[in-house]
Amino acid sequence: MQVDPDDLSTDELYKILIGSVVPRPICWASTLSRDGVANLAPFSFFTVVSRKPPMVSLTLQPRSDRATLKDTLVNARDTGEFVVNVVSLPQANQMHLCAVEYAPDEDEFAVAGLGRTPSENVKPPRVTDAPIAMECKVHSITPMGDVGDHVLVGRVVRFHFGEGVWLPDGRINTASLHAVGRLAAEYTIADAVFTCPLPAELTAEYAARPWRRIDGRDVGWSPVAEKSWSAAGDVRLSAK
């Protein structure tokens, strides 16, 4: 089957992209408004863009009205700073709660009951229990596409690692992260590793298996099929 993207709406394209580019790592971006109000929001359009100096990027859509810029982008633009916090499984519920759209004067740290720790080189706080946090200075903000998306690039000016994450030889203990990723409109947990080559019978066996769900829902359930799901990313689905 072939699909011409010019024939599709923004929402249709969004569903294709979030279901095709998987799994995507999730980070919390913490910022401060000009008035000093803390904001914390999760993003899965998140990646590395440079090694030295180290730089990371976030791609941000507008809010659900398709026009208003998200608080993260406004705060980063106004202050020139933000912090990237890696999401770990024990914080998944709080991360999900922070995906709801709140008013600019609401503090998501308080809403989600999260601890905050002062940063060293920037003013926005970091999530206390995040296994990894990266303090960032804004390098650039670039408008992208026709529907108000922006790419925010930040230069990492300080790394923070939780206990057991930094190994003596300078590597990261990835097994300790319990990193959470995004699959279309659902989440996944990185809990299996391998090196290549793999036996053909093993890959065939895994390819035939349905994915294992850890939330108690049916294997075929998807939040995209729910009437309350929004392509703008406003998460309001109640837990089962």
In three state form, how does the secondary structure of 57-105 look? EEEECCCCCCCCCCHHHHHHHHHCEEEEEECEHHHHHHHHHHCCCCCCC
Which pLDDT belongs to residue 87? Answer: 96
Which pLDDT belongs to residue 237? Answer: 42
Give yes or no for residue 232 having a pLDDT over 60.
Answer: no
* Alpha-carbon gap, residue 144 to 60, rounded angstroms: 10
R_g over Cα of the chain: 19
Which pLDDT belongs to residue 223? Answer: 84
Q: Which residues contact 125 (CB under 8 A, 6 or more apart)?
A: 30, 32, 38, 83, 109, 116, 117, 118, 119
Among 57-66, 186-195, 221-230, which stretch is predicted with the lowest mean pLDDT? 221-230
Residue 148 CB neighbour total at 10 angstroms: 18
Which pLDDT belongs to residue 239? Answer: 37
pLDDT digits (tens, 9 = 90+) for 66-83: 999 999 999 999 999 999
The arithmetic mean of pLDDT across residues 171-181, rounded, is: 95
User: Where do the domains of the chain lie, and which CATH numbers do they carry?
Assistant: 5-225 (2.30.110.10)
Which pLDDT belongs to residue 152? Answer: 98
pLDDT digits (tens, 9 = 90+) for 17-68: 999 999 999 999 999 999 999 999 999 999 999 999 999 999 999 998 999 9
**Is the separation of the CB atoms in 158 and 135 below 8 Å?**
yes
pTM of the model: 0.92
Q: Which of 51, 3, 45 is nearest to 23 (CA)?
A: 45
For residue 240, what pLDDT band results from cuts at 50, 70 and 90?
Answer: very low
Which pLDDT belongs to residue 231? Answer: 58
For residue 129, what pLDDT band results from cuts at 50, 70 and 90?
Answer: very high
In a 13 Å sphere around the CA of 161, the CA atoms on its Cβ side amount to 13
